[in-house]
């Protein structure tokens, strides 16, 4: 199990996950878990089975998650592009895409969300014992250690997957921007620049869990914000 923790709303991280999926699915069946609500699963499955036409993309984007007013980075154009890459990859490999998140996750209890996502992925891996798994989720969910800054008893998705001996890597930009929501209000979601950082780009892959709850850290030189996918079918960025 490879866990990729991100700051939602960049162009680059979903594209890298597509590259990782391509490599991992080359020899073994692959389950790709995404932090998308599970009531979108039927739309995702239909899209993966489709020819990927404009109408097929529009049908996927008709799901309420993609057209909701509160648009965080999980429903970005880059995530739509990731699903298209996975659709193409599925034509030549054994690949399943799993929507892991609870319905209405924005107002759900955080610990319950992590438990639900872990149970859903665990069930899929138990059903496919020879499959590999690649998970893209927010960089708190992918932490392997117990405890959150707001609750020392919190058990993240990564922690709850310990029996599968996951490897967790966090990918983030040291400069650039992301589509970020800073509050519960719809207008808090916009492209935002990262503050200046002294960190240098590079990859660190360790065996031990670091202070951020992952074994690995991949710092990109720059990321760029990916706006909501619904803007690609007629709505405008304000």
In-domain check, residue 62: yes
CB 102 within 8 A of CB 112: yes
When pLDDT is averaged across residues 126-132 and rounded to a whole number, the result is 94
Whether 212 maps to a domain, the answer reads: yes
Q: How many domains does the chain have?
A: 1
189 in a domain, yes or no? yes
Q: What digits encode the pLDDT tens for the residues 14-25?
A: 999 999 999 999
Domain holding 147, by residue range, is 2-233
Q: Is 16 part of any domain?
A: yes
The predicted-structure confidence for 32-68, as pLDDT tens digits, reads as follows: 999 999 999 999 999 999 999 999 999 999 999 999 9
- Considering the domain boundaries, does residue 224 fall inside one? yes
Is position 78 within any domain?
yes
**Does residue 30 sit within a domain?**
yes
Task: Give a yes or no: residue 68 inside a domain.
Answer: yes
R_g of the chain, CA atoms, integer Å: 17
State residue 237's pLDDT score. 39
Q: Are strands 132-138 and 202-205 parallel, antiparallel or unpaired?
A: unpaired
Q: The domain that contains 96 carries what CATH number?
A: 3.40.50
Report how far residue 238's alpha carbon sits from residue 21's, in angstroms, rounded to the nearest whole number: 33
> Which pLDDT belongs to residue 102?
87
The string of pLDDT tens digits covering residues 170-200 is: 999 999 999 999 998 999 999 999 998 888 9
């Amino acid at each position: 199990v490879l866990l990729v923790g991100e700051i939602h709303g960049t162009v680059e991280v979903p594209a890298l996950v597509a590259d990782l999926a391509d490599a991992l699915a080359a020899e073994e069946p692959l389950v790709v878990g995404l932090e998308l609500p599970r009531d979108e699963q039927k739309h995702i499955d239909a899209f993966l089975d489709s020819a990927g036409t404009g109408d097929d993309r529009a049908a996927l984007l008709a799901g309420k998650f993609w057209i909701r007013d509160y648009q965080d980075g999980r429903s970005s154009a880059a995530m739509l592009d990731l699903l298209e890459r996975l659709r193409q990859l599925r034509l030549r490999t054994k690949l399943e895409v799993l929507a892991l998140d609870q319905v209405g996750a924005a107002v759900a209890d955080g610990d319950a969300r992590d438990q639900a996502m872990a149970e859903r992925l665990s069930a899929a891996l138990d059903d496919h014992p020879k499959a590999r798994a690649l998970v893209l989720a927010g960089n708190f969910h992918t932490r392997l250690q117990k405890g959150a800054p707001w609750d020392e008893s919190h058990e993240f998705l990564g922690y709850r997957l310990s029996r599968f001996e996951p490897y967790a890597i966090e990918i983030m930009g040291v400069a650039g921007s992301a589509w970020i929501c800073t509050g519960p209000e719809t207008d808090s979601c916009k492209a935002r620049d990262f503050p200046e950082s002294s960190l240098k780009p590079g990859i660190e892959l360790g065996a031990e869990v670091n202070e951020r709850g992952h074994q690995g850290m991949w710092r990109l030189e720059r990321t760029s914000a990916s706006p909501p996918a619904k803007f690609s079918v007629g709505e405008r960025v304000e």
